[in-house]
């Protein structure tokens, strides 16, 4: 069996091979961050955008409005 002549490389072939090799060594595997165990009763500070009328509704009964929002969210989440 005779060796067949090599096909000349084109710029696109070399570029495609180089990009594939570069991507292979530089791409980090996607790892999910370790899931933290929720400690009961511990609150976490977040920023939440709420419609003004909804906020006014919860604030209208005075102090404790954040706890009332939390209770409403727990109920809506089925917790």
- Mean pLDDT value across residues 40-58: 89
Return the structure tokens found at 54.
């909804």
pLDDT at site 58:
93
Cβ–Cβ < 8 Å for 58, 68:
yes
pLDDT at site 45:
86
pLDDT at site 54:
93
For residue 56, being part of any structural domain is answered with: yes
pLDDT digits (tens, 9 = 90+) for 4-41: 667 666 666 778 888 888 887 776 777 877 877 777 77
- Could you give the number of structural domains in the chain? 1
The three-class DSSP label of residue 58 is helix
Q: Which domain holds residue 52?
A: 45-79
How many other β-carbons are positioned within 10 Å of the β-carbon of residue 68? Answer: 13
For residue 52, being part of any structural domain is answered with: yes
């Amino acid at each position: 069996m005779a060796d067949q002549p090599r096909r000349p490389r084109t710029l696109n072939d070399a570029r495609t091979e180089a990009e594939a090799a570069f991507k292979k060594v530089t791409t980090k595997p996607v790892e999910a961050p370790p899931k933290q165990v929720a400690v009961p009763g511990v609150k976490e500070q977040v920023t939440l955008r709420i419609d003004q009328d909804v906020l006014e509704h919860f604030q209208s009964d005075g102090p404790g409005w954040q706890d009332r929002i939390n209770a409403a969210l727990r109920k809506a989440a089925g917790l």
